[in-house]
Amino acid sequence: MHDLQKISEAFLIPADFSSAAPYGSGHINDTYAVNFNQAGTEVRYIFQRINHRVFPNPGKLMENIERVCAHTRSKLAGPDASRRALSLVPTRSLKNWHVDGEDHWRCYLFIEKARTYDAIENVGQASEAARAFGRFQGLLADIPGGRLFETIPDFHHTRKRFEALVRAYEADTRGRASAVADEMAFVLKREAETSLIVDAIADGRIPERITHNDTKLNNVMIDDATGEGVCVIDLDTVMPGTALSDFGDMIRTATNPEREDSTHLSKIHMRIEYFEAIARGYLEGTAEFLTDAERELLPLSGKLMTLECGMRFLTDFLQGDTYFKIHREGHNLDRCRSQFRLVESIESQMDDMRERIDDMVAVS
Ligand code: ADP
Ligand code: GN1
Ligand code: MG
């Protein structure tokens, strides 16, 4: 645990530190909820230490986030703008982040009366999350100041993720390759498909957009009272990308009744009514800009993002769990297996997904 009292002193918070505790279930950054006493009232803020192994240029990353927060906030101007867009709290030297040795820290206003979900609880959450992520893409379409910095190059280059996995398997630095023969066979059977979306980007069939790139369900705050997807969070990977990654990751995380690391493989599946709710919410949120070519690839994107995520977990398992935080032995392998089970479920429903998208487009 870091010394949050000392870190918080760097920020312009007109209140006295009272306590801090790790918060949330993100796999990458260190997140804390920090409580302060402000003239007798408890107030809290989110503090985050950026994972600089995952994000090797935290300064450039924070410049992106400054721009994204400022732009979304200005477009959502209104009495509740600070619940609808993340707000950075400045430091005493009026910067939007604080450097402490190797560590970069940032502080956000805490979005109260809303929460994130690690596993989806009802179909309304699925459409709300999709609408929020779709709207978010729309808000960023005209962000001024030039192309955003690529915080992780080739982040959703599924083909390169496949190649990285094969390299990790062949190198087998941790002696774990023999445990994953079935998983490797699963991936190798699908090798050709790993190029389908990246090729469509490369040959210009689908456009580059500013996208979120990490649209898992627990990266959107759902309002406690209204159930609305009130604020998109976790902005580290907001950068040039494809709408398909954002749609696909919602299918991965918001159609499956089980958590991402579930070992109850027989319970893992894509629920088509959740797919439909996400597609409806997303098509609404993106009605003004999504192209036909993008719409056509939506069902495939769910499968490929799930396969890609499973491959990333497997690569990390083979390399000794250095990227994603783990909380038990074999955690990344469990995550990989659950993702691959979900890929099979998505595969078995491809025609149904396509028909539903076609029907939605036809009546809109
Ligand atoms: P990571 O990159 O590690 O996933 P996140 O930015 O997603 O980190 O934060 C982790 C969790 O902390 C989120 O899932 C959410 O529950 C909570 N959280 C993050 N920012 C806020 C905020 N501004 N207000 C309230 N909760 C937040
Ligand atoms: C990570 O940061 P978090 O936990 O929201 C990862 C995503 C993965 C996800 C899998 C920067 O997301 O790409 O899809 O875990 N983020 C990064 O749960 O690698
Ligand atoms: Mg997150």
Secondary element (H or E) of residue 20 = strand 16-22
Three-state SS for 328?
coil
Q: What is the pLDDT of residues 122-180, one digit of tens each?
A: 999 999 999 999 999 999 999 999 999 999 999 999 999 999 999 999 999 999 999 99
309 CB within 6 A, ligand 2: yes
28 CB within 6 A, ligand 2: yes
What pLDDT, on the 0 to 100 scale, is given for residue 195?
98
Q: From the CA of 152, how far away is ligand 2's center (Å)?
A: 12
CATH number listed for the domain at residues 4-110: 3.30.200.20
86 CB within 6 A, ligand 1: yes
Q: What is the pLDDT of residues 201-214, one digit of tens each?
A: 999 999 999 999 99
What pLDDT, on the 0 to 100 scale, is given for residue 64?
98
Q: From the CA of 89, how far away is ligand 1's center (Å)?
A: 15
Distance between the two ends of the chain, CA-based, in angstroms? 51
What pLDDT, on the 0 to 100 scale, is given for residue 60?
97
Residue type, 241: G
Q: Going by DSSP bridges, is the β-strand pair 220-223/229-232 parallel, antiparallel, or unpaired?
A: antiparallel
Of all atoms in ligand 2, which is nearest to the CA of residue 253? 18
Secondary element (H or E) of residue 38 = strand 30-38
What pLDDT, on the 0 to 100 scale, is given for residue 361?
84
- Under the banding of pLDDT at 50, 70 and 90, the label for residue 77 is confident
**Mean pLDDT, rounded, of the chain:** 96
What pLDDT, on the 0 to 100 scale, is given for residue 66?
98
117 CB within 6 A, ligand 1: no
What pLDDT, on the 0 to 100 scale, is given for residue 1?
79
Over residues 313-333, the mean pLDDT reads 98
214 CB within 6 A, ligand 2: yes
For ligand 2, atom 7, which residue shows the shortest CA distance?
A: 214
Give rounded-to-5 percent helix, strand, coil for the chain.
50, 15, 35
Q: Which of 28, 30, 31 to mutate to test the pocket of ligand 1 (most atoms within 8 A of CB)?
A: 31
List the Cα angle 102/13/88 in 5-degree steps: 60
DSSP state of 72: H
Three-state SS for 140?
helix
What pLDDT, on the 0 to 100 scale, is given for residue 78?
86
Question: Residue ranges of the domains in the chain?
Answer: 4-110, 123-363
In CATH, the architecture of 123-363 is Alpha-Beta Complex (3.90)
What is the DSSP code string of 169-186? HHH-TTS-GGGGHHHHHH
Distance CA 198, CA 264 (A): 32
Domains 4-110 and 123-363 share a fold: no
26 CB within 6 A, ligand 2: yes
Q: Going by DSSP bridges, is the β-strand pair 98-100/103-109 parallel, antiparallel, or unpaired?
A: antiparallel
108 CB within 6 A, ligand 1: yes
Question: Is the pLDDT score of 364 beyond 80?
Answer: no
220 CB within 6 A, ligand 2: no
Question: Is the pLDDT score of 71 beyond 90?
Answer: yes
- Under the banding of pLDDT at 50, 70 and 90, the label for residue 79 is confident
Over residues 29-38, the mean pLDDT reads 97
289 CB within 6 A, ligand 1: no
Q: What is the pTM of this model?
A: 0.96
Q: What is the pLDDT of residues 95-129, one digit of tens each?
A: 999 999 999 999 999 999 999 999 999 999 999 99
| CB under 5 Å of ion ligand 3: residues | 26, 219, 234
Question: Is the pLDDT score of 233 beyond 80?
Answer: yes
Ligand nearest to the CA of 234: 1
